[in-house]
Chains A and B, each alone.
Chain A
Amino acid sequence: MSSETTVVDTHAAGAAGSGSEAVGMPQIDFTSFPNQIFWLVITLVIIYFVLSRISLPRIGAVLAERQGIITNDIAAAEDLKQQAVEAEDAYNKALADARVEAGHIVADARAEIQGELDSAMAKADAEIAAKSAESEAAIADIRKDAMKSVKAVANATAKEIVASMGSKADAKSVTAAVATRLKG
């Protein structure tokens, strides 16, 4: 520290070897040993008490607390992950259920529509059959009427033709002849 001045002083005074100029090794200057040992022991005792009473328990507690928090966080993360997996499973199950349900509904609806369709078609078929039978009857009536009219008109026409030809036509034979013709 203040060796500069002391060195210069001792040299100036010509008195070498006193004070701060080293004679040989200062390490084996036994006069300074009690002093060094005394202060060393005090230093070590202070450091020991500071460390063992304040510092080391504090740092140890902080490290333990941090370790605990990390462990808890990892456990919590594990839990959350488990929950997420469960939620995904539930979602997939719900999706599958819904799909099956939708299939059922579609099948039901299809069956119902098919049934309705079938009955409607049967009804329509019946109606059509009734209508066509009715029409056929009407056509048969009309045809019968028409045949009757044709016979009458033919008879009359044949009588008229025969009369106009100047000969008295026998009504019976004309009718028979017309009937024969009509059959042919």
Chain B
Amino acid sequence: MSETVTEGPSGLQIHPMDQFVVKPLFGGEHINFYTPTNVTLWMALAVLCVIALLVLGTRGRAIVPSRVQSVAELLYGFVYKMVEDVAGKDGLKFFPYIMTLFVFILFANFLGLIPMSFATTSHVAVTAVMAMAVFIVVTIVGIVKNGFGFLELFWIKAAPLALRPMLALIEVISYFVRPVSHSIRLAGNMMAGHAVIKVFAGFAGVLGLGAVAPILAITAVYALEMLVSFIQAYVFAILTCVYLKDALHPSH
């Protein structure tokens, strides 16, 4: 942790953002799109975790499940029920997509909490791609399913006629802001928590052995971050379900 604090000319220097730098794994300066970087490493670890839990863990196909298998079943049931409850029965054919997003974000978030690791989901580039994918897919599904009727999403029949154009404008803006809020929410949460931990770690490095308060603060923030890691994965998945529901059933 001490590498974030370097004694420069101005005394205390904390670099809470250093942990987010994308670096090539095998040296070099230039980053091509195919260069294996720390992004590659931590995403690959997330894939391995997913395979370990959801493939190796369920290998036994046991009627009375092992511990790992019951965790996998719990995760499956959790997301399945969420899709069914929020997006409806016809949303279930999108269950594998939502499950993919959910388990990736979940494992990326938790792997990012390992000290010295790299949190891939703290990058807007990553979350924006996922949010845009959701946005584009949901919009296409909405248009294919409902045709012109998809525009009912913006034309609120419950409101007085005079207000409807105004509301339609607001609805259209809010619709196109969705991918932004969807992605920034996740990246911002992850980045903020990790940066805060790093700042406290910087204080602890300066104070040395007497750093009781920063260490307690790190512990507390770390616990909070574990909660945030799960909640943000959940929020991302459930918002995807909500958008999907809007696309499948656009009328309010």
Contact = CB atoms under 8 A, between A and B. Distances in A.
Q: Are A and B physically bound partners?
A: yes
Interface of A: 1-4, 6-8, 11, 18-22, 24-29, 31-44, 46-48, 50-52, 54-56, 58-63, 65-66, 69
Contacts of A3: 3, 18-19, 21, 23
B23 A47 contact: no
A33 B17 contact: no
B37 A35 contact: yes
B96 A26 contact: no
- Top 4 nearest A-B pairs by Cβ distance? A34-B33, A22-B17, A32-B22, A55-B54
Contacts of B144: none
Given A27-B122, A62-B58, A51 B100 contact: yes
Interface in B116-132: 116, 118, 120, 122-126, 129-130
A22 B20 contact: yes
A48 B61 CA distance: 20
A169 to B, nearest CB: 138
Interface residues of B, number: 60
A37 B126 CA distance: 6
Chain A at the B interface: SS class = helix
A51 B54 contact: yes
B187 A27 contact: yes
Contacts of B100: 44, 47-48, 51-52
B23 A61 contact: no
A152 to B, nearest CB: 124
B124 A40 contact: no
B21 A35 contact: no
Residue of A22, A40, A44 contacting most chain B CB atoms (<10 Å): A40
Contacts of B43: 39-40, 42-43
Contacts of A60: 76
B8 to A, nearest CB: 8
A51 B99 contact: yes
B21 A59 contact: no
Interface string B223-245: 00000000000000000000000
Contacts of A55: 54-55, 58, 72
Interface string B118-155: 10101111100110000000000000000000000000
